[in-house]
Structure 1
């Protein structure tokens, strides 16, 4: 594979133009919990929001004299149909509370379109922000790295739908996997002791 031109690439920010940046900022603060941060003093209005990690979202006052090629649905279509978004321009975020997040969107009267990838591992919901920009929120089923370690299943914690395992060849386990660690180690020792009896 040829060497990339850019090195140390990471996502810095995403910008959206808007005729009402305050309305758009309030939407992203309310729906996604983005935090408003200090914005530069430019010749046009801007609001900068801080997202997860080092990711930033820049909202920029739209210049009506410009006709940028990428625009929201309202620029080219009179109908806001989120079922078109899987094949259209959109930004995707991931959340850990997918089902309650989708229900909150519906409670707020936001039209949504839900689907999953063919393997069923990624659930998706598509919708529009107040300016008609396409959004996707995905819930990805993440496999705990502990599952690849040498383990013994010792219990099941149905409240969080996770197997509880004991790692008797390593010292590190993740938070969920360590829920039953203390008594589970005792269970293994007891089992080993019982098996050693004549």
Structure 2
């Protein structure tokens, strides 16, 4: 447990030393046009529309009634091989029970997602990933995706609400409400147990 806490603190320090992944917008940069925003008022993920790898709009309403895992992914992260294998396993095992995994590539963590959307699409095919992968997004800072701002507002993080590393996972229940937030420090068994609570 002590090692986990130390690693968490180190990751937070690294993140906050990088301007492009800041969690919040300085108050001086805000103006009345920043309010209200969808993420600050929404109650479910179904209120959001995201982009797929072809640039098409995808209303998350299409997942109504399903249990979702929404995660930020990176193809060049040292965790990607094990994480993708776990996602494929869970999607296969629980697809018929209503589980859907939604991956959002993100380049904000040491640029471990270096590819553009076209290359990511080819990567998805090559790795035979069986879950939905969307367009590259920011998960922290002023330009963060509205969906990800919403997820962080509803499920707070350890010490800070910002996303601290790749493969942060939000479990969303069948009503579209984020109910769990897990980090890279949660093991696969814990992750699966959490999913089963909502299936």
TM-score bin, normalised by smaller chain = under 0.3
**As a proportion of its length, which structure holds more strand?**
1
Which TM-score applies when normalising by structure 1?
0.23
**As a proportion of its length, which structure holds more helix?**
2
Question: Quick check: which has more Rg, 1 or 2?
Answer: 1
